């Protein structure tokens, strides 16, 4: 079973949760997700930095990243995650090319 870290803009938070579920149940991938703040809690810059570091560690543990690029959108942070994954030799899977139904 391949392990992937899901990467995408938080403006697609609901879509990423749904996509992660489909990837695990229908496509048999083990998905590492970012942390979602269900209550939209405010976080400090220190906390934000820790979450970012944890996300990059998830990428290091993964075989690939799964980029949720809805309507072709890839933000600055996701671009950094893609470059990091490439530097680690990870496969890059684009949602727009994977063929999963939305």
Dihedral over Cα of 82, 87, 88, 94: its sign:
positive
Predicted confidence at residue 24, as pLDDT, reads 95
Give the whole-angstrom CA distance, residue 58 versus residue 68.
Answer: 16
- Going through the chain in order, the beta strands assigned E by DSSP cover 3-8, 30-32, 64-68, 91-94
Which residues fall within 8 angstroms of residue 61, CB to CB, at 6 or more apart?
Answer: 3, 5, 32
Predicted confidence at residue 70, as pLDDT, reads 92
Name the band, by pLDDT with cuts 50, 70 and 90, for residue 6. very high
Domains of the chain as residue ranges with CATH: 3-98 (3.40.50.450)
Task: Give the model confidence (pLDDT) of 68-99 as tens digits.
Answer: 999 999 999 999 999 999 999 999 999 999 97
Supply the DSSP symbol for 97: H
3-state secondary structure of 87: helix
């Amino acid at each position: 079973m391949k392990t992937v870290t899901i990467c995408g803009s938080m403006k697609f938070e609901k879509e990423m949760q749904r996509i992660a579920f489909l990837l695990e149940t229908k496509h048999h991938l083990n998905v590492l997700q970012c942390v979602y703040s269900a209550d939209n809690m405010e976080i400090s810059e220190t906390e934000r930095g820790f979450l970012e570091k944890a996300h990059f560690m998830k990428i290091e543990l993964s075989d690939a990243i799964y980029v949720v690029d809805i309507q072709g959108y890839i933000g600055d942070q996701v671009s950094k995650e893609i470059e990091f994954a490439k530097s680690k030799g990870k496969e890059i899977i684009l949602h727009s090319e994977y063929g999963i139904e939305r």
